[in-house]
Chain A
Amino acid sequence: KNEVEQSPQNLTAQEGEFITINCSYSVGISALHWLQQHPGGGIVSLFMLSSGKKKHGRLIATINIQEKHSSLHITASHPRDSAVYICAVPGNSGGSNYKLTFGKGTLLTVNP
């Protein structure tokens, strides 16, 4: 079973700071997902990536397949970025994206 570790568990930043959240997994995968869960509970998919880097606005996700590691970066952070960020990968080696294993999440708080 794929094990997913996220770090840090909690992160507090000042508005404008550059944020990095890390995700490591134990078994080779076809793709990795980053999701955002707002304080109200809603969950939104941010990225699905299998190699290299993807960018959407101020969010950048990178993945290193050989090192089994992904990072989510937020540039020029804003209080509205405050949320839980969750990493997810297929549950087994060669497993499909239907059965995802989720990290426990990183709680990000951005203060004005």
Chain B
Amino acid sequence: NAGVTQTPKFQVLKTGQSMTLQCAQDMNHNSMYWYRQDPGMGLRLIYYSASEGTTDKGEVPNGYNVSRLNKREFSLRLESAAPSQTSVYFCASSLSSYEQYFGPGTRLTVT
């Protein structure tokens, strides 16, 4: 079992560029999440998907879109990257609302 995988691990974007962060899990979890982690701020929820076919906003959704492609995959898209989106992004999954399993993270820099 690979658990939760994320691609890419690192990315540098210029302001205004777009990109999609990919996340997949092989644990048959029905819930998936996207977080960002900034120094001194703690983890903050961007979007989550409680089950396949549903997505909901978290604490900081502005500037992001998500797609729950199927039960395994949950992608996060930045349509027009801004320097304020420089962060480390974590994907996580869980069986319903129980313990969450985290991916290794994507370190994104927007210049």
Residues of A within 8 A of B (CB): 4, 33, 35, 41-45, 48, 86, 88, 91, 96-105
Pairwise interchain contact B42-A86, C-beta atoms closer than 8 A = yes
Judged by a CB distance under 8 angstroms, whether B2 is at the interface is no
B53 at the interface (CB under 8 A from A): no
* Nearest Cβ on chain B to A11's Cβ, whole angstroms: 17
Are the CB atoms of A97 and B97 closer together than 8 Å? yes
Shortest Cβ gap from B88 to chain A (Å):
7
Q: Digit string of B80-92 for contact with A (CB within 8 Å is 1, else 0)?
A: 0000000010101
B94 to chain A, nearest CB (A): 8
Pairs of residues from A and B, 6 with the lowest C-beta to C-beta distance, nearest first: A97-B97, A43-B102, A102-B43, A102-B42, A45-B99, A104-B42
**Bound form: Cα–Cα A86–B41 in Å:** 12
Does A41 lie within 8 Å of B88, measured CB to CB? yes
26 contacts between A and B (CB under 8 A): A33-B99, A35-B102, A42-B105, A43-B105, A44-B102, A45-B99, A48-B98, A86-B42, A86-B43, A88-B43, A91-B59, A97-B98, A98-B31, A98-B48, A98-B50, A98-B97, A99-B45, A99-B48, A99-B59, A100-B45, A100-B100, A101-B59, A102-B42, A104-B40, A104-B41, A105-B42
Interface size class of B (residues with CB under 8 A): 20 to 34
| Bound Cα distance from A53 to B30, whole angstroms | 28
Task: Give Cα A84–Cα B60 distance, bound, in whole angstroms.
Answer: 23
Give the chain B neighbours of A42 by CB distance below 8 A. Answer: 102, 104-105
Told that A33-B99, A42-B105, A105-B42 touch, could you supply 16 new A-B pairs with CB distance under 8 A? A42-B102, A43-B102, A43-B105, A45-B101, A45-B102, A48-B99, A86-B42, A86-B43, A98-B50, A98-B56, A99-B45, A99-B48, A99-B58, A100-B43, A104-B40, A104-B41
